[in-house]
Structure 1
Amino acid sequence: MKIALVSPYDYSYSGGVTSHISHLESHLLNKGHQVKVIAPCSKKALDPDVIPIGIPIPVPSGDSIARVTLSLTLARTVKKVLHKGNFDIIHLHEPLTPMLPLFVLRYSDSINIGTFHAYHGEPRAYKMFRPILQKWFHRLHGHTAVSQPAKTFVNKCFPAEYRIIPNGVDIARFHPGVQPIKELRDGKINILHVGRLEKRKGVKYLLEAYKIVKSQNPDVRLIIVGPGERLKKKYKRFAKDNSLKDVVFIGFVPNEELPRYYATADIFCAPSTGNESFGIIL
């Protein structure tokens, strides 16, 4: 089949939805399908199967930053891409997020499937814009959510028959045979955190907890993987001011290297404080 995977988010920037789509694309290609990813891109797409549409801008969203395109002039490009692609299925991720998925829904003549990832407590934006979004929601032929919280979140404003399909695990990448990072396997107990450095990820509380653990067990190490320079400076300063040893900030890690850090860990910790439906890092 000819399948389009649509994302509202900057495909050049790491994130849960982007990772989900990337892994789904690989799986579908391995199954013999023809797959294209349609998404805004702030950088030139390296993957020839990615069709960039729109310039993303950072917008605050649920204690995070969503990089989406808000352009109202995407119609011509979207119509051209959909006509040329002649897709059997269009799979839209966060299909009610402006603006790219809404344009795709408007002009799609294919079977449209929507997957909902988000959870932000009360769906205030959905409630506010429900009268406008309702007509686009009705253009979806199928509805999925990555978790029960994600389903509950969207179902409050847009009730439908949702099928819960959790984020998958690529067992070809994550398996017991993955080699750990040799220099970090020195006898210390490794506590690993993976994720963008944002307030909602709870790294502040992880560092405070690590301070207590370290005082009771010197043979532990905290490994923090993920981008976010502004908060990394703040967290490094906290570690320095509190004389915390063995805190390692790795920064961004390419997808192909990430399994090695999981293989290196004895304990994985994801202390998110909220607004998570099913963290892809889990």
Structure 2
Amino acid sequence: MKILLVSPFDFTFPGGVNEHILHLDAQFRKRGHETRVLTPRSLGEDEQDDGHFIKLGTAVPIPANGSTARITLSPFVSGKVKDLLLRERFDIIHLHEPLAPALPLLVLLHSRTVNVGTFHAARSHNLGYLYGKPVLAYFFSKLHGRIAVSPAALEFVSRYFPGHYELIPNGIDVELFRPDVPPIERFDDRPTILFVGRYNESRKGFKYLLEALALVRREFPACQLLVVGPGDPRRFKWLIERYELEPHLRFVGPVAPHELPRYYASCDVFCSPATGRESFGIVLLEAMASGKPVVASDIRGYRYVVRHGVEGLLVERKNPEALALALVHLLADRDLRERLGRAGRQRAERFSWSVIADQTLAYYERLRAVGVRRPLTPVPRPSITRIPLRGWPGGETS
């Protein structure tokens, strides 16, 4: 098949949606399919087509879902998108966050082939979908197939655009994240908790982990928390000083993807205290594939990945005492850590990118067998310049 994968997000900046696309792209090519990837370009970067990646429209930062989405808002690349689709004649166009401005909408506007949309985000509400529905309904009607990456994402999008959705989750590279990866030598044998993510974002719940660490320290005075990911520790200076946590903290900063598995290998327990708006939880799968037990908030997106008492422990969100109790419980029980870690690895293998790619390709084939049909209820074609941006549910999943 000839497949176009479309991202609304600038590929210069890492994120869950773009990672998802890159892994599907690699798996599809491995199976002999011809793929192209369409994305916006970074500010100052030229438009380009290297035969694989196509970059059209300048990306600008937009606050979204407690994060920042870098998307293009320009409708002026419409003609170039139209020419691309006419020239390439794709069998499948797979759009990620297909109702995001503006690149996916322009593709849907001009597409005459089988369109598939994957919905990644999960929130409690969305004003962009609510007020933009009269306009977005046209683009939604052009999707022949709809995928949600988790029950949380499905529930969220169905609230505004009901219909049938295929549940095909995010994946994990089980060859990269493995239990036999060597740990990092500079970290000693102290009881070690790991956090991975953009810790400055309030939805990641990092402050609750710091408060929990102060309690864990009472039972394990030598414990340490490794913090991997972008952020500014000065934002939490008052909390660190209040609880005298500095000797127990190692802020590592962002690390290269090939180095990340070694940080998982260096911990005893992985912790994700997110407060909500997480549709899936890639970091949970990374820890599980690495054979590490998980302590995480009991939120909808995480429940789909981790089963309480099987691969990890789920606790009440925004509750430092509950976090601390679960962490102490695991740090004190090596046998339990190993049992949860083994179960986590087994479950993670069900989410391998090879499995996810096969599920996605099988869905493509079912849609192609049906063929391209017009919607049963015609929806008027709108102008994409009328789409409201306020409250749009973008941002990257993690």
TM bin (shorter chain): over 0.9
Name the CA distance, whole Å, in 2 between partners of 1:32 and 1:232. 46
**Structure 1 residue 214: Cα displacement:** 1.8
Alignment correspondent of 1:254: 256
Structure 2: gaps spanning 5 or more residues: 285-398
2:81: which partner in 1? 78
Unaligned runs of 5+ in 1: none
Q: In 1, are the aligned partners of 2:194 and 2:271 still within 8 Å (CA)?
A: yes
* Alpha carbons 1:190, 1:220 under 8 Å: kept: yes
Q: Is the 8 A contact 1:16 1:279 kept in 2?
A: no
1:179 aligns to 2:198 (yes or no):
no
- 8 Å contact 2:191–2:220 — kept in the other structure? no
Query: Cα offset for 1:63?
Result: 1.8
The offset of 1:238, in angstroms, is 3.5
Task: Tell me if the contact between 2:7 and 2:104 (Cα under 8 Å) persists in the aligned partners.
Answer: yes
Q: Which amino acid aligns with 1:112?
A: N
Would the aligned equivalents of 1:123 and 1:154 in 2 still touch at CA under 8 Å? Answer: no
Q: Which runs of 4 or more aligned residues in structure 1 lie more than 2 Å from their structure 2 counterparts after TM superposition?
A: 47-50, 80-86, 235-243
Counterpart amino acid of 1:50? F
Report the equivalent of 2:383: none
2:235 corresponding residue in structure 1: 234
Higher helix share: 2
How far apart are residue 280 of structure 1 and its match?
Answer: 2.0
**SS of 2:192 mapped into structure 1:** strand
Query: Does structure 1 conserve the Cα–Cα contact (< 8 Å) formed by 2:172 and 2:282?
Result: no
Query: Which one has more relative contact order, counting CA pairs under 8 Å at least 6 apart?
Result: 2
From the superposition, tell whether residues 21 and 240 of structure 1 become closer, same or farther in structure 2 (CA, over 3 Å).
farther
Paired residue total = 279
Match of 1:56 among 48, 54, 59: 59
Q: Which amino acid aligns with 2:135?
A: I
- The aligned amino acid for 2:129 is Y
What TM-score do the two structures reach when normalised by structure 1?
0.92
Q: Indicate conservation of the 8 Å contact 1:20/1:280, yes or no.
A: no
The answer to whether residue 162 in structure 2 is matched with residue 162 in structure 1 is: no
Q: CA deviation at 1:237?
A: 5.6
Q: Percent identical across equivalent pairs?
A: 47
Q: TM-score scaled by structure 2?
A: 0.66
Match of 2:100, SS state, is coil
Q: Which one has the largest radius of gyration?
A: 2
Partner Cα separation in structure 1 for residue 248 and residue 87 of structure 2? 54
The Cα shift of 1:102 comes to 0.3
* Structure 2 counterpart of 1:233, one-letter code: R
* CA apart distance, 1:241: 5.1
Q: Secondary structure at the match of 1:205?
A: helix
Question: Is it true that 1:144 corresponds to 2:147 in the alignment?
Answer: yes
